[in-house]
Every structure is written in structure tokens, then in C-alpha cells.
Amino acid sequence: MLKAYIDLMSQPSRAVFIFLKYTKIPHTIVPVALRKGEHFQEEYAKSINPFKLVPVIHDGDLILPESVAILKYLCTKHNITSLYPTDLEAQARIDIFTQWQHLNLRMGGGTLFQARFIQPMTTGKPVDEAKAEMGRKVLYASLKKMENIFLKETPFINSDSMSIADILGVCELMQPQLGLNMDFSEYPKLCVWSKRVREEVGADLFDEAHQYVAQMGKRFFSSADSKL
Ligand SMILES: N[C@@H](CCC(=O)N[C@@H](CS)C(=O)NCC(=O)O)C(=O)O
């Protein structure tokens, strides 16, 4: 049976988790606790992922890292054309986002999250404000582009129906929104879209995937930090 190595604190891991549960592809979840450094253990680095990252899937003889590659592979293998269309133009429109998000939405939100939470927590050092500012700038520019480009004319990312782009995108958005308790109400289209994706995947599944990051945001960041 397919194994998925994930940590629910990780955005691309949550995307793989939601995708597997939503599509009901038989699988086993293997938790890899990043906070305990389990991804640095010799066995994991040697046999599962030499990049020492999550997520990874192990399917038959294939060991596959990289969330976008994982979701596309599984859609193709299981013929899930609703989430990754076979029509070339529709697929290309989804891929604009899957390529773009790495160095934009993900980089912005992830850098801010690292600077405001992970690094101070793991090193005991104060927040690296320059790094936080860099992340914040990229994040806000990305949120604007999400509203003005990707969601300009369609209820889902460049599409009338939900795709892997929405699953990947919403998990990135939730990292600063839930994990840092940030308020994105100035981005109304994004708020409506993220609610729409939550409803589409199912609120219970969405909330199960985001429970730890949400708990953390509530515990460490008050609403006064909303502009972080
Ligand atoms: N491009 C990869 C990114 C994977 C990645 O950066 N994973 C992070 C968690 S979100 C990780 O494993 N970090 C561990 C570390 O940096 O030590 C993907 O989309 O799967």
C-alpha cells in the first residue's frame, strides 16, 4: 500500500494528506516529526528522502518527494481528471499556479513563518526582523496576485472547479493565517476562496489537516499580532 511520509505542520504535507483523504486512494500515513529532527535520521535520509524533507510518497518501487510531483503523479495514475485535467490548456492553467507558488506564496508565507516562529523557537534567538520583512513583502505581493490574477475571473484558481492548485495554495495560505494568526480580511476574494476550498474538500478533513497549525497560532500569537 502507498505510504505517505508527512508532518501536518508542513504546508505541502497537508496538501498531500488532504488529497489522499479526499480522493480516497488507499494509503498509510507515516508521521515524520520535523520538530524532533526525524527527517535527519540516517535511515530516512538514506532510504526515503536524501533531500531530508517532507512530504514523500512510497508507491511500489517509486519513492517520490516534491508535493507537486506527488499530486500530479497520483492524479495521472488514478485517472483523477477532476483535480488535474487532461485537457492541455486547462492543465497548463493549473500548472501556472503550481510553478508560481514555490517562489511566491510559499516563499513569502514560509519565510515569515520561519522568521517569526520556527527560528526563535528552535534557537532561542530574537526574531530576525530583516528576514521577516522580506517574507512579509513577498507574502503580501503574492496575496495581491492571487486576488488580481489567479482568482480574477474564476471561483477556483484559474478554473471553475477545484484542482490540485487550490489544495496546494490553500495549505500555503493557512500557514501564516492560522499559524501566525494573521488577519487577511483585506483580501476578500482570498477569504471567500479559502472557505470555498474548505467546503469542497470537507470542513472536517480540512480542519483535521490544520488542527496543529491552528492550535499553535492561537497559543503563540494574539489577534494584536494580526499584521505581523
Ligand atoms: N518543494 C518541496 C518543499 C518541501 C519542504 O520544504 N518541506 C519542509 C516542510 S514544509 C521540510 O521538510 N523542512 C525540513 C527542513 O527544512 O529541515 C515540496 O513542495 O514538497
Tell me the whole-structure pTM to 2 decimals. 0.96
Cα gap 87→78, rounded to integer Å:
16
Helix (H) or strand (E) holding 190: helix 188-201
Quick check: 223 pLDDT over 90?
no
Mutational test site, ligand 1, from 53, 72, 73, max ligand atoms within 8 Å of CB: 53
- Tell me how far CA of residue 207 lies from CA of 12, 27, 210, in angstroms: 15, 20, 5
Residue 52 to residues 11, 18, 99, 130, Cα–Cα distance (Å): 16, 22, 21, 27
Which domains does the chain carry?
A: 2-77 (3.40.30.10), 88-225 (1.20.1050.10)
**54 C-alpha vs ligand 1 centroid, how far in Å?**
5
Q: Is 128 in the pocket of ligand 1 (CB under 6 A)?
A: no
Measure 111 CA to ligand 1 centroid, in angstroms.
12
Q: How many whole angstroms from 153 Cα to the centroid of ligand 1?
A: 31
Q: Of the given ranges (1-10, 169-178, 211-220), which has the lowest mean pLDDT?
A: 211-220
Q: What pLDDT, on the 0 to 100 scale, is given for residue 220?
A: 83
Using pLDDT thresholds of 50, 70 and 90, give the confidence band for residue 210: very high
- Residue of the CA atom closest to atom 9 of ligand 1: 10
- pLDDT tens for 68-109 read 999 999 999 999 999 999 999 999 999 999 999 999 999 999
